[in-house]
Structure 1
Amino acid sequence: MFDLDHTLLPIDSDHAWGEFTQVLGWTDPVRFKQRNDEFYEHYKAGTLDVHDYVRFATEALRQRSPHEAQAAHRQFMQSVIEPAIRPAALDLVRGHQQAGDLTVIVTATNEFVTRPIADAFGVEELIAVELERGADGWITGEILGVPSLREGKITRVARWLVERGLDWHGVETVFYSDSMNDLPLLERVDHPVATNAEARLRAIATQRGWRILDLFTHT
């Protein structure tokens, strides 16, 4: 299992998508940037209200058609995400796949932003924040079910296992993450790997003897 932002990617895809909507002219360049940055600081501090954030982050999308939104995301992939996908991250994912491991991206970023990114990594299984859809089939700004953030990642992974007739005791689990927000899931798996870890997580990993991996040191 892999976290996405700052783990497989050296950027935060959610925050970057918000900045990209400014480039498109979808959002106010001053007000949106201020709020986007504020939410990002809350995420790093572990104090993010994910429901408020998703309402904010999807507001511009909800004012566009699905076709227009998807076209914009293709531009986002080409100009922002694809240049940020590093060989070391691809090699890590492919190494597990070649070993016969089932690979899963488990991210607190929503599925609209992350599904194409998971595809770019060749990872079919994605556990992301699911977005509620209205009668018209388009997103409402609300979250469907349990958001995959902090302890919610454990809940979502457990559900994912059950759906496949598995449980925690019947599989050997590895999880790569950079973030203190992911400490609950790191503590739950068999093999936690602090990856490009922030200082607090790196200190915990060092103290507990966890593996520490730096993918982007030389990039």
Structure 2
Amino acid sequence: MKLALFDLDHTLIPFDSGMAWTRFLVARGVLPADAETVYLGYCQQYVDGTLDIHELHRASVAPLASFGMAALRQWAAEFEAQMAPQVPEPMRALVRRHQDAGHLCAIVTATTRFIAEPFGRVFGVADVLATRSLVIGDTLDGGIDGDPCFGVHKLMHVNQWLATRGTRLEALEQSWFYSDSASDLPLLCAVSDPVAVAPDERLRARAIEAGWPILERS
């Protein structure tokens, strides 16, 4: 078996899916007009190391806690339709090449699952490994269900997913992982063919040192 894994934000798509989702909800009047600025502030705190992924997730999801899952599913469908034209054709083609070659494909992202799944459908990738939001009754709790799909936990989520298919990463004939971020180094180092996509400074340095391919955006 051959496996191709893809990060989402700034890899398959050249933007932050959480910001796109926030703007989408602001445009529909679901979130207040300043929600984008608030989200950016949380993201900056996260980058600065003063906010961890659990706190960032709670801050992002909490404003939606008063809405039921049916409303979220409806918004997700509308969001998918709006995002489809914004997905770069070269990245669609990259995914298709792996699919046409018969490779098992999955998106592996720290993004909240209900935001990531619409992109999975746009790319035609059924398997989306993402951070799961805790749902209590019919509403979002704001917390994370289990471990976030981030950093070393991405590797854990991939191994758990492969275990359901009766295999493990190191047993595969060949495996690729495409990512822009040094936070994904645990998974990049675990596959046979890591690929850096428009990488951040730290990942670019590691890719050059290790001789990994680097894909730049045109």
2:118 is aligned, of 104, 116, 134, to 116
Matched residue type, 1:182? D
Structure 2, gaps ≥5 residues long: none
Identical positions, percent: 36
CA 1:34–1:13 in 2, change beyond 3 Å: closer, same or farther?
A: same
> Post-superposition shift, 1:92?
0.4
User: How many angstroms apart in 1 are the aligned matches of 2:151 and 2:115?
Assistant: 19
- Map of 2:37 onto structure 1: 34
CA 1:149–1:192 in 2, change beyond 3 Å: closer, same or farther?
A: same
Structure number having the greater strand percentage:
2
Cα-to-partner distance string for 1:28-80 (whole Å, 9 max, x where unaligned): 323x333311232345456651111121211232212223222222332233x
User: How many angstroms apart in 2 are the aligned matches of 1:44 and 1:180?
Assistant: 12
Matched residue type, 2:76? H
CA 1:130–1:64 in 2, change beyond 3 Å: closer, same or farther?
A: same
Superposition misfits of 4+ residues, deviation over 6 angstroms: none
CA 1:117–1:211 in 2, change beyond 3 Å: closer, same or farther?
A: same
SS state at 1:188 partner: coil
Please list, as runs of the form range in 1=range in 2, the aligned pairs for 1:101-140 lying within 5 A after superposition: 101-134=103-136, 136-140=137-141
Q: Aligned Cα RMSD in Å?
A: 1.8
SS state at 2:129 partner: strand
- Alignment TM-score, normalising by the size of structure 1: 0.89
Please list, as runs of the form range in 1=range in 2, the aligned pairs for 1:1-219 lying within 5 A after superposition: 1-30=5-34, 32-44=35-47, 48-79=51-82, 81-134=83-136, 136-171=137-172, 172-214=174-216, 216-217=217-218
User: How many angstroms apart in 2 are the aligned matches of 1:200 and 1:186?
Assistant: 13
In 2, are the aligned partners of 1:11 and 1:84 still within 8 Å (CA)? no
CA 1:46–1:174 in 2, change beyond 3 Å: closer, same or farther?
A: farther
User: How many angstroms apart in 1 are the aligned matches of 2:197 and 2:27?
Assistant: 30
> Post-superposition shift, 1:110?
0.9
SS state at 2:189 partner: helix
- Alignment TM-score, normalising by the size of structure 2: 0.90
CA 1:47–1:91 in 2, change beyond 3 Å: closer, same or farther?
A: farther
SS state at 1:103 partner: strand
